[in-house]
């Protein structure tokens, strides 16, 4: 690379440091934590890159010198996240999609262990065997309890109190996208020198609703408001949707990421019979909601903004719709109309 080709750029490290510089009172504890998640994601990236090979090698028993079974990639990603974060002085506890209970870490020195990190280590793992993008999602809260060890309540905080949220998409390129409440910023991993480089500063969801993303095979299980919403966007006469396409990967990170960049809505609504959604509030929906709001969009259950929900359990599932502000507000109006109609006919 000649000198003239070389221009100023930020890595994830230098960008976080520059943001930290804007808060002179900051001790850098939180920034270290974010950098550490970046490191964990590089380790997961390395495993994901070898996904097809791990199976071949594992099946032949070549790498199992300990006589252990080949780990599935999602539990491997979970172990990487735990091992990378557990000795961080800033981390008081972890919660993961792969763990039934929170992992409460031992007492740390005074003033430390003040954050809890919640994560889905490998979102979309059912796609991995077909070489389709997968992701990692994370959410960070400051502890609310004051003891030296975490309380369960530290993990059950509403999304609006997240201090940071983000995801990594392991796709054609690997990208790290995060917010600390000051815009959404995306970094692309340069495989040649193993660093995340700032590629998407201050991402805003485009106004056009280019993509409609839902598992449409579930249409008959949706309530009337959701069906009306889907029909309006897919088949209605509104010229706003003339160029909208259905796009669904089945990895929430990939669907969310595409819609963040192109504009659109992603839906995983409740099953009409059970009233339950599929996606998990704490480490899928709440972080996506913070990112969407920071990029100018919204996230809702249809009846409540996701950021306002007070969790009642660690693995709570909710109905979820996220994307362009205008469409999410429309969805909320249709749900309100359906509820009002049900009330008057009751
Ligand atoms: P996972 O976290 O166990 O991978 O499950 C969540 C995934 C999401 O990534 C995706 O949006 C959804 O499940 C797909 O579900 P479906 O196959 O029902 O469409
Ligand atoms: Mg998931």
Predicted confidence band at 146 (pLDDT cuts at 50, 70, 90)? confident
Name beta bridge partners: 43.
none
Average pLDDT rounded to a whole number, residues 136-145: 96
Collapsed DSSP state (helix, strand, coil) of residue 260: helix
pLDDT of residue 22: 62
Q: What is the pLDDT of residues 235-274, one digit of tens each?
A: 989 999 999 999 999 999 999 999 999 999 999 999 998 8
Q: Give the chain's count of helices (H) and strands (E).
A: 8, 13
114 lines ligand 1 (CB under 6 A): no
250 lines ligand 1 (CB under 6 A): yes
Query: Rounded to two decimals, what is the model's pTM?
Result: 0.94
Nearest CA to ligand 1 atom 15: 250
**Residue 64 in this model has a pLDDT that exceeds 60:** no
CA of 135 to the centre of ligand 1 (A): 11
Write down all domains in the chain, each with its CATH number in brackets.
Answer: 3-200 (3.30.540.10), 211-345 (3.40.190.80)
Predicted confidence band at 29 (pLDDT cuts at 50, 70, 90)? confident
CA of 125 to the centre of ligand 1 (A): 8
Nearest CA to ligand 1 atom 14: 250
Tell me the CA distances in angstroms from 191 to 39, 272, 308, one per residue in order.
14, 45, 39
Between CA 299 and CA 320 the distance in angstroms is 7
pLDDT of residue 132: 92
Q: What is the dihedral of CA 48, 52, 53, 56, to 10 degrees?
A: 140
pLDDT of residue 15: 93
Nearest CA to ligand 1 atom 16: 250
pLDDT of residue 55: 65
CA of 253 to the centre of ligand 2 (A): 8
CA of 150 to the centre of ligand 2 (A): 24
Question: Both tokens of residue 291?
Answer: 């990112």
Residues 117 and 84: beta-carbon distance below 8 Å: no
98 lines ligand 1 (CB under 6 A): no
pLDDT of residue 148: 83
Who contacts 186 (Cβ-Cβ below 8 Å, separation ≥6)? 175, 176, 177, 198, 199, 200, 201, 203
120 lines ligand 1 (CB under 6 A): yes
- Residue at token pair 């100023």: 8
Predicted confidence band at 54 (pLDDT cuts at 50, 70, 90)? low
E-assigned strands of the chain?
Answer: 91-96, 103-104, 115-123, 134-142, 162-170, 174-179, 184-190, 195-200, 211-213, 245-246, 264-268, 298-300, 320-323
CA of 251 to the centre of ligand 1 (A): 6
Burial class of residue 38, CB neighbours in 10 A (0-12, 13-18, 19+): buried
pLDDT of residue 66: 47
What number of residues does the chain have? 346
**Residue 287's closest CA among 177, 198, 208, 143?**
177
Q: What is the pLDDT of residues 155-188, one digit of tens each?
A: 999 999 999 999 999 999 999 999 999 999 999 9
Q: What is the pLDDT of residues 267-281, one digit of tens each?
A: 999 999 888 899 999
**Residue 293's closest CA among 306, 282, 280?**
306
Residues 175 and 189: beta-carbon distance below 8 Å: yes
Distance of CA 87 to the CA centre of its chain: 23
Ligand 1 atom at minimum distance from 251 CA? 9
CA of 215 to the centre of ligand 1 (A): 10
252 lines ligand 1 (CB under 6 A): yes
Q: What is the pLDDT of residues 301-341, one digit of tens each?
A: 999 999 999 999 999 999 999 999 999 999 999 999 999 99
- Residue at token pair 């979820």: 320
- The DSSP call for residue 317 is B
Predicted confidence band at 231 (pLDDT cuts at 50, 70, 90)? very high
pLDDT of residue 65: 47
Which of 136, 218, 251 most suits a substitution to test ligand 1, by most atoms within 8 Å of the C-beta?
Answer: 251
Ligand 1 atom at minimum distance from 127 CA? 4
**Residue 53 in this model has a pLDDT that exceeds 90:** no
Nearest CA to ligand 1 atom 11: 252
Average pLDDT rounded to a whole number, residues 288-293: 98
């Amino acid at each position: 690379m000649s000198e003239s080709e070389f221009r100023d750029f930020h890595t994830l490290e230098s960008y976080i440091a520059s943001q930290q510089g804007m808060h002179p009172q900051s001790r850098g504890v939180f920034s270290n934590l974010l950098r550490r998640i970046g490191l964990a994601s590089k380790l997961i990236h390395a495993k994901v890159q070898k996904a097809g090979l791990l199976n071949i090698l594992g099946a032949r028993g070549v790498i199992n010198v300990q006589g252990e079974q080949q780990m599935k990639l999602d539990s491997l990603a979970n172990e990487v996240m735990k091992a990378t974060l557990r000795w961080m002085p800033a981390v008081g506890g972890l919660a993961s999609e792969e763990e039934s209970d929170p992992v409460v870490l031992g007492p740390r020195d005074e003033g430390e262990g003040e954050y809890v990190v919640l994560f889905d280590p490998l979102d979309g793992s059912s796609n991995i065997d077909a070489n389709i993008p997968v992701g990692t999602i994370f959410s960070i809260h400051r502890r609310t309890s004051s003891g030296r060890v975490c309380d369960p309540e530290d993990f059950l905080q509403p999304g609006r109190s997240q201090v940071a949220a983000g995801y990594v998409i392991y796709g054609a390129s690997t990208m790290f996208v995060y917010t600390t409440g000051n815009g959404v910023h995306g970094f692309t991993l340069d495989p040649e020198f193993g660093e995340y480089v700032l590629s998407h500063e201050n991402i805003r969801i485009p106004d056009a609703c280019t993509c409609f993303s839902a598992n449409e095979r579930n249409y008959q299980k949706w309530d009337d408001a959701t069906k009306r919403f889907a029909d309006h966007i897919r088949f209605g006469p509104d010229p706003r949707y003339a160029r909208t396409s259905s796009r669904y990967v089945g990895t929430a990170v990939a669907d969310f990421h595409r819609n963040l960049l192109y504009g659109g809505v992603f839906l995983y609504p409740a099953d009409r019979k059970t009233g339950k959604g599929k996606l998990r509030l704490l480490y899928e929906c709440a972080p996506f909601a913070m990112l969407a709001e920071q990029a100018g969009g919204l996230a809702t259950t249809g009846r409540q903004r996701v950021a306002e929900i007070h969790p009642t359990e660690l693995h709570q599932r909710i109905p979820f719709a996220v994307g362009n502000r205008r469409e999410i507000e429309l969805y909320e109006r249709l749900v309100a109309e359906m509820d009002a109609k049900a009330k008057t006919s009751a």
